[in-house]
Amino acid sequence: MSRPRRAVPEYRDGMTRTEPSAPARVAAPGEGITAQELQLAARNHGMPAEALRYDLTPVGLHYLLIHYDIPDLDRSTWRLRVGGAVRRPVELTLDDLRRRPRVTTTVTLECAGNGRARLEPRPISQPWLVDAVGTAAWTGTPLAPLLAEAGIPPGAVEVAFTGADHGIERGVEQDYARALPLAEALGPDVLLAYEMNGMPLPPQHGWPLRLVVPGWYGMAQVKWLTAVTVLDAPFTGFQNAVAYRLKRAADEPGTPVTRIMPRALMIPPGYPDFMSRTRFVAAGEHLVHGRAWSGWAPVSRVEVSADGGATWADAVLGPPVDRHAWRGWRWVWPAAEPGEYELLARATDEAGNTQPIDAPWNRQGMANNMVQRVPVVVTR
């Protein structure tokens, strides 16, 4: 094994400078899922599609993505340090944070790599199908007032968020850290969250504190938060500069992954075959329903196809669960004739973003929102 290169700390808060690293691998044509991908998939589970029935995803059914290990943190020694280019750096305990104004927001989170395993060739990483999503009620205190109290100087451009988890990624040793543009970090709905669905954050979702940035893909929702660092130059950490970029060639810089593209998912109708998960329903009318979301604008339309995408029908939209959460949709499938079908659903948002039938390929398998396909056999 080659020795990992050490990243040189550039800021005191555990953030790291990015050094050149090996490009992520893309699977050879026809190459099956590797044991390494399986190892990641077993640690980082998706949300079972039938859990789309709940407005709020029960905590244990919410998807999980953990790059390294769940860190071992102690309430008595844990602190949140707000520092960097601020006038008045401050350290807060969990009790300090809990005494601040308390807000609950329901937010749909989705991993930027959702759908990656369906790309060809397949980028080798966490091999998500389409299940890397969940919706929770996050309770915490808004970030913007805390930053205002710390005093943001005129030259500030970004805010970096550092987690307590530590690991090596493509040769670069680091604490998980992600930055946001200053204007996004100051957004009124950005939360420092300490509760999920009315309970203290569980270890896997970031106890004692995580960032919640409604509308952004999962990588921005930094867990096990220890530092909020105001920067007067763009952040150069791995998770912004190298990872989470839309690009085709390994050597191009690419563009950053930001907000969640629209997606509709259905609760697959009928019952499944254990191995293939092909669905079976008896001929006759069936309710096809699910959820749809977008991080850019409210979902305005969901369409369903029962003939593999040749023709589409409008689903009826339910009320959004909250401003930044998914909304339900439903459609009645006549399913009169026995046979083999493929059900598709696609969402469109008020900004005009929609879902492609075939996803444009990118090297890291990011922000791929191609339509879900559900094979269904209609029996007599």
Q: By CB under 5 A, what part of segment 210-229 binds Mo ion?
A: 218-219
Ramachandran region of residue 197, left (φ > 0), alpha (ψ -120 to 50) or beta? Answer: left
Assigned token pair, 265: 């998912």
User: x/- binding map, residues 221-260, to ligand MTE, per CB under 6 A?
Assistant: xxxx------------------------------------
Nearer to ligand MTE, 44 or 372 (CB): 44
Q: Report the alpha-carbon distance of residue 257 to residue 141 in Å, rounded.
A: 26
Residue 346 binds ligand MTE (CB under 6 A): no
Assigned token pair, 244: 């989470």
Three-state secondary structure string covering 241-282: HCCCEECCCCCCCCEECCECCCEEEEECCCEECCCCCCEEEE
- 354 forms beta bridges with 348
Residue 215 binds ligand MTE (CB under 6 A): no
Nearer to Mo ion, 63 or 207 (CB): 63
Q: Report the alpha-carbon distance of residue 165 to residue 48 in Å, rounded.
A: 27
Q: By CB under 6 A, what part of segment 44-73 binds ligand MTE?
A: 62-67
Q: By CB under 5 A, what part of segment 336-355 binds Mo ion?
A: none
Number of residues that bind Mo ion (CB under 5 A): 4
Residue 176 binds ligand MTE (CB under 6 A): yes
Q: Report the alpha-carbon distance of residue 309 to residue 237 in Å, rounded.
A: 41
Q: Report the alpha-carbon distance of residue 50 to residue 292 in Å, rounded.
A: 14
Number of residue whose CB is nearest ligand MTE: 218
Cα distance between the two ends of the chain: 58
User: x/- binding map, residues 75-114, to ligand MTE, per CB under 6 A?
Assistant: ----------------------------------x-x---
- In the complex, the smallest distance separating the C-beta of residue 288 from ligand MTE, rounded to whole angstroms, is 26
User: x/- binding map, residues 36-75, to Mo ion, per CB under 5 A?
Assistant: -----------------------------x----------
Q: Report the alpha-carbon distance of residue 101 to residue 28 in Å, rounded.
A: 52
- In the complex, the smallest distance separating the C-beta of residue 255 from ligand MTE, rounded to whole angstroms, is 18
Binding site for ligand MTE (CB under 6 A): 62-67, 109, 111, 134, 163, 165, 176, 205, 218-219, 221-224
